Structure 1
Amino acid sequence: MLKSKSIVRAYLLAVVCCLIGLSEGGTLVYAEGGGSSYNYSVWGDTVAAPSAYEAKLLLNGISLGVGAFNNPSDLHVTADNEIYVLDSGNNRIVVLDRQFQKTAIIDSFEHDGQSDTFLNPQGIFVTEQKHVLIADTGNKRVVHLDQNHKLVKIVDKPQSDLLRESFDFQPVRVVMDKAQRVYVMAVGVFDGLMEFSAEGAFTSFIGANRVMVDPVELFWKKLSTKAQRSQMIMFTPTEFTNLDINDEGFIYATSGEWGDNIRKLNAQGSDILRRTGYFNPQGDIRYTSASGPSRLIDIDVTDSEIYSVLDSKRGRIFTYNGDGHFMYVFGGLGNQLGKFNSPVAIERVGDDFLVLDKAFGEITVFQTTEYGRTLNEAVRSYYRGEEEKAFHLYEQTINMNANLDFAYSGIGKSILRQGDYEEAMRYFKQSLDQGNYSKAFLLYRKQVLREHFGTIMTVVIGLVAVFLLVRIYRRMLNRKRGVSVE
């Protein structure tokens, strides 16, 4: 009894130590100062990885022939690869084609018969029909222009019982879905994204961030006096830092806090992001207590549920597949090509990446390496149901990077879809994918039972028949001996 009490005390002490450790800053080294390309093993160790992207080109306003950019804050790329650069300090939008040639500059529009301009705009979104929405932050409004850059409507300070009278509407990011509902991220709004109808009327908040509670501070709050509690930090939800929307209308959003700092919101505002990778998507999972976790400030969603996030703290771009597996990372802070000073936005042009640096007023163009192209296509092939192609592409990625553990799981999934459950189990075991291993095992067991059902039933019936014959024989033998049988 004494021994069991000691064990309980030891467990309680360990839990308290863990909680204190978490509150004091978290994990240790993540290979800080190492190369810009790496991955994480199943065990959370930093392992070497080939570069998936390489910086190839540096663009600025002067080289583009539009004059120097001044604190640009956002990018948007349309489906036909037209590029919109929000040059905030110059209160304009520069439009480029796929070859980075200027096609238009939007710096004003007609409003009530007069020329109107922007003031320190911070966010831009372009629809499939080339309608342009601008979060005109300085003017405290969202401006909606059509494909000819003519005014459609202006969304300004909403009137609602859900908002306090002193609410100051400062939109900084905006997206629109196919039903023409507008979603706005605004300064100081902790209740989630602001949803507006197609007519511009405020309807509700969606996707409020969960409150992040420090367990140690919560413990002390329970023990403290009322006066002490008044001096402590209030538990309030965190603001979103950016958002994007995919072709299906799901909103992907980032927040600056560590934890579930990437979310995928459905129409009801519920988070449906899949987190079935070895670690939750969140940027770096290993870091020093001095530097702290990643601060995600932008997100870009491409086809096949692949999405990328930008970490402003270390200037890195992390990419994940739809299940939440970490695919690759590139970028960093510095002065050479491929590094940034103050990265603020990322976008894809095809498979190339554009990264906007606010301080330098530059756009860095990254292109895929053979490894990056192969891995991207492997994920896309599996998503499209092309199992055979995905299998071969994942094998190629493993040949280039044996440390990419989730590729073994990808091969297993491809084989699983083809019905080779026993072989799939082998790959799932190698990648320590317990969930899919169990699934493959159950299917393999059913397959074995189905294939050998006749043999199994023959054996069972034969054993039952032998058992009955033995019993009958023993009874007959006992009768001959005169032994009574009950």
Structure 2
Amino acid sequence: MFKGKPKARVCILAALCCFIVLSAGGTLIHAADGAASYNYSYWSRSVASPAAYEATTLLDGANLGVGAFNNPSDLHVTPDNEIYVLDSGNNRIVVLDQQFNKTAVIDSFDHEGKAYSFLNPQGIYVTEQKHLIIADTGNKRVVHLDQNHSLVKIVEKPVSDLLQANYVFQPVRVVMDKAQRIYVMALGIFDGFMEFNTDGAFTSFIGANKVQVDPVELFWKRFSTKAQRSQMIMFTPTEFTNMDMNDEGFIFATNGDLWGDSIKKLNAQGNDILRRTGYFNPKGDVRYTSDIGPSRLVDIDVTDSEIYSVLDSKRGRIFTYNGDGHFMYVFGGMGNQLGEFNTPTAIERVGDDFLVLDKAFGEITVFRTTEYGRTLNEAVRSYFRGEEEKAYKLYDQTVNRNANLDFAYSGIGKALFRQGEYKESMQYFKQSFEQNHYSKAFLLYRKQVLREHFGLIMTIIIVIVASSLLIRGYRKMKGRKKVVTFE
């Protein structure tokens, strides 16, 4: 039937493969939706886990004394735990102290003797010096205010050959580094984040996502006419969904890539340097039901010791990872009870506690750490700071509370490894399936054994060699005597 048409046979076989893969998707994916608190084992199985966080308080505009929030879209917490709530629908910023008392409401700024207000702002970032960077989306600009809420500069639509002439500038998320460069996530931009210098001039794009190709769409394009292809979806890079910046100036970002790397850590050149050495790549849920699909990450919060957390808008869950990409814990969910959400949109830490902003409900849920969560957090921090003995004790306490946390055994092994306890560390690396670290520990343990017993080993070798020489000499002498006697 297909004789002489190898190209057609290849295309049809490719289509059948795609069909089989897509059809099998629903049966290969398993749910992890049942447990409120869980973890994933080395084998990617969901296992029971103690709760690391518990919801304790629900805040809204009314009980904060500022009037109801209207579609709030972003949060930011400063190093001294001052809280900024971006109340987008009311075109204002509500400032709270650590005890959730109102300290200020910012709804306008002065420029050349005239008051200007915000219009549906979507993103806010506050520097260590309390400078505010606001993505004033409705007004198509970025506003930079100083610590007194006075205008520093306005960044408007950039003019560049890299942008189309009819491009509409709609910033939705912003951050600023210590050199006062502003990075903007804007709607309709697929080339990465927009970088602006200290004067507010556009300089470049950084961190563009790779193009993701749908194999089924690609297959059908091969058989489509030019007119049909023009109506099909274009292959474009995935847009980012949010970003945050750590103390070192690295941008941590989430994107809408459901099948690739949905979390990135970008350096100044825009290269992704996120470590993914855990049992699986950081991406939210590893196992999930096929009807809902994988996690959609819409916010990221970076804290000290390279710990970061991401928000899944599909299931309302917050996932936390250490700097190596090991999954630490998860909490949250969708619903109407305390600790559940309707439209979770932003997360921030206040010390070791969490704030989760619900856009639809106009509420902020406060999560406090449990004893288990505090112990695990401090174990990761202690190891990061090089406090091996303390890290060992804390990880040991962690596994006593949660024997299912495989990577905690690795933490104990690494702490022992740094202390030179190679033999003991090998046991924990074996238990946590850390093959690379096990191999390193084995090699160093072998060297350690050789070094410790070098004298004994050399003595044995010398004795063996000397004995061999003596025996050989004795046999030669005995042989000569026999020859003389015979003669």
Length-normalised TM-score, structure 1: 0.92
Whether the 8 Å contact between 1:412 and 1:425 is mirrored in structure 2 is yes
Q: What corresponds to 1:234 in structure 2?
A: 234
Where in structure 2 are the equivalents of 1:189-200 lying within 5 Å? 189-200=189-200
Partner deviation per Cα, 1:258-306 (whole Å, 9 max, x = no partner): 2210001111111111111111100001011111100000000011111
1:343 and 2:368 correspond: no
Which shifted more, 148-157 or 21-30?
21-30
Q: What corresponds to 1:261 in structure 2?
A: 262
Measure, in 1, the Cα distance between the counterparts of 2:214 and 2:188. 22
Q: 5+ residue gaps in structure 2?
A: 1-12
Q: Note closer, same or farther for the CA distance 1:236–1:478 as it changes in structure 2 (3 Å cut).
A: farther
Q: What corresponds to 2:183 in structure 1?
A: 183
Q: What corresponds to 1:73 in structure 2?
A: 73
Q: Note closer, same or farther for the CA distance 1:257–1:19 as it changes in structure 2 (3 Å cut).
A: farther
Q: 5+ residue gaps in structure 1?
A: 1-12
Q: What corresponds to 1:374 in structure 2?
A: 375
Whether the 8 Å contact between 1:318 and 1:330 is mirrored in structure 2 is yes
Where in structure 2 are the equivalents of 1:302-317 lying within 5 Å? 302-317=303-318
Q: Note closer, same or farther for the CA distance 1:409–1:18 as it changes in structure 2 (3 Å cut).
A: farther
Which shifted more, 225-234 or 54-63?
225-234
Measure, in 1, the Cα distance between the counterparts of 2:19 and 2:423. 42
Secondary structure in 2 aligned to 1:62?
coil
Where in structure 2 are the equivalents of 1:200-279 lying within 5 Å? 200-215=200-215, 217-218=217-218, 220=219, 224=223, 227=226, 230=230, 232-258=232-258, 259-279=260-280
1:246 corresponds to which letter in structure 2?
N
Measure, in 1, the Cα distance between the counterparts of 2:232 and 2:312. 29
Q: What corresponds to 1:4 in structure 2?
A: none
Q: How far apart are residue 229 of structure 1 and its match?
A: 5.2
Count of matched residue positions in the alignment of Structure 1 and Structure 2: 468
Measure, in 2, the Cα distance between the counterparts of 1:450 and 1:276. 32
Q: How far apart are residue 100 of structure 1 and its match?
A: 0.5
1:408 corresponds to which letter in structure 2?
Y
Q: What corresponds to 2:101 in structure 1?
A: 101
1:447 corresponds to which letter in structure 2?
Q
2:406 corresponds to which letter in structure 1?
D
Q: Note closer, same or farther for the CA distance 1:28–1:347 as it changes in structure 2 (3 Å cut).
A: same
Q: How far apart are residue 347 of structure 1 and its match?
A: 0.3
Q: What corresponds to 1:9 in structure 2?
A: none
Q: What corresponds to 1:48 in structure 2?
A: 48
2:132 corresponds to which letter in structure 1?
V
Q: What corresponds to 1:6 in structure 2?
A: none
Which shifted more, 224-233 or 139-148?
224-233
Measure, in 2, the Cα distance between the counterparts of 1:276 and 1:23. 31
Measure, in 1, the Cα distance between the counterparts of 2:460 and 2:221. 67
Whether the 8 Å contact between 1:30 and 1:284 is mirrored in structure 2 is no
2:175 corresponds to which letter in structure 1?
V
Q: How far apart are residue 471 of structure 1 and its match?
A: 4.2
Q: Superposition RMSD on alpha carbons, in Å?
A: 2.1
1:174 corresponds to which letter in structure 2?
V
Q: What corresponds to 1:433 in structure 2?
A: 434
Q: How far apart are residue 441 of structure 1 and its match?
A: 1.0
1:289 corresponds to which letter in structure 2?
S
Measure, in 1, the Cα distance between the counterparts of 2:476 and 2:207. 76
Measure, in 2, the Cα distance between the counterparts of 1:19 and 1:453. 63
Measure, in 1, the Cα distance between the counterparts of 2:221 and 2:478. 81
Q: What corresponds to 1:83 in structure 2?
A: 83
Measure, in 2, the Cα distance between the counterparts of 1:359 and 1:388. 46
Q: Note closer, same or farther for the CA distance 1:357–1:470 as it changes in structure 2 (3 Å cut).
A: same
Q: Note closer, same or farther for the CA distance 1:473–1:20 as it changes in structure 2 (3 Å cut).
A: farther
Q: What corresponds to 1:462 in structure 2?
A: 463
Q: What corresponds to 1:357 in structure 2?
A: 358
Whether the 8 Å contact between 2:18 and 2:216 is mirrored in structure 1 is no
Measure, in 2, the Cα distance between the counterparts of 1:244 and 1:459. 62
Measure, in 2, the Cα distance between the counterparts of 1:204 and 1:236. 19
1:274 corresponds to which letter in structure 2?
R
Q: What corresponds to 2:422 in structure 1?
A: 421
Q: How far apart are residue 30 of structure 1 and its match?
A: 2.6
Q: What corresponds to 1:142 in structure 2?
A: 142
Measure, in 1, the Cα distance between the counterparts of 2:203 and 2:392. 47
Measure, in 1, the Cα distance between the counterparts of 2:17 and 2:384. 43
Q: Note closer, same or farther for the CA distance 1:17–1:405 as it changes in structure 2 (3 Å cut).
A: farther
2:324 corresponds to which letter in structure 1?
D
Q: What corresponds to 1:331 in structure 2?
A: 332
Q: What corresponds to 1:10 in structure 2?
A: none
Secondary structure in 2 aligned to 1:408?
helix
Secondary structure in 2 aligned to 1:393?
helix
Partner deviation per Cα, 1:100-125 (whole Å, 9 max, x = no partner): 11100100001122111111100000
Q: What corresponds to 1:7 in structure 2?
A: none
Measure, in 2, the Cα distance between the counterparts of 1:392 and 1:351. 20
Secondary structure in 1 aligned to 2:408?
helix
Q: What corresponds to 1:166 in structure 2?
A: 166
2:298 corresponds to which letter in structure 1?
I
Q: How far apart are residue 159 of structure 1 and its match?
A: 1.3
Q: Note closer, same or farther for the CA distance 1:222–1:385 as it changes in structure 2 (3 Å cut).
A: same
Q: How far apart are residue 481 of structure 1 and its match?
A: 5.7
Measure, in 2, the Cα distance between the counterparts of 1:344 and 1:441. 47
Measure, in 1, the Cα distance between the counterparts of 2:461 and 2:324. 44
Measure, in 2, the Cα distance between the counterparts of 1:260 and 1:446. 39
Measure, in 2, the Cα distance between the counterparts of 1:395 and 1:17. 47
Partner deviation per Cα, 1:62-106 (whole Å, 9 max, x = no partner): 111111100000000000000000000000000000111110010
Kindly report structure 1 stretches of 4+ aligned residues shifted beyond 6 Å. none
Whether the 8 Å contact between 2:18 and 2:215 is mirrored in structure 1 is no
What percent identity do the matched residue pairs reach?
77
Measure, in 2, the Cα distance between the counterparts of 1:217 and 1:456. 68
Which shifted more, 469-478 or 421-430?
469-478
Which shifted more, 208-217 or 372-381?
208-217
1:291 corresponds to which letter in structure 2?
I
Length-normalised TM-score, structure 2: 0.92
Q: How far apart are residue 177 of structure 1 and its match?
A: 0.6
Q: How far apart are residue 225 of structure 1 and its match?
A: 5.4
Q: Note closer, same or farther for the CA distance 1:217–1:434 as it changes in structure 2 (3 Å cut).
A: farther
Q: Note closer, same or farther for the CA distance 1:160–1:223 as it changes in structure 2 (3 Å cut).
A: closer
2:302 corresponds to which letter in structure 1?
V
Whether the 8 Å contact between 1:221 and 1:229 is mirrored in structure 2 is no
1:28 and 2:29 correspond: yes
Secondary structure in 2 aligned to 1:445?
helix
Which shifted more, 248-257 or 226-235?
226-235
Measure, in 2, the Cα distance between the counterparts of 1:206 and 1:278. 29
Whether the 8 Å contact between 1:20 and 1:216 is mirrored in structure 2 is no
2:157 corresponds to which letter in structure 1?
K
Secondary structure in 1 aligned to 2:59?
strand
Which shifted more, 82-91 or 472-481?
472-481
Q: What corresponds to 2:126 in structure 1?
A: 126
Q: What corresponds to 2:59 in structure 1?
A: 59
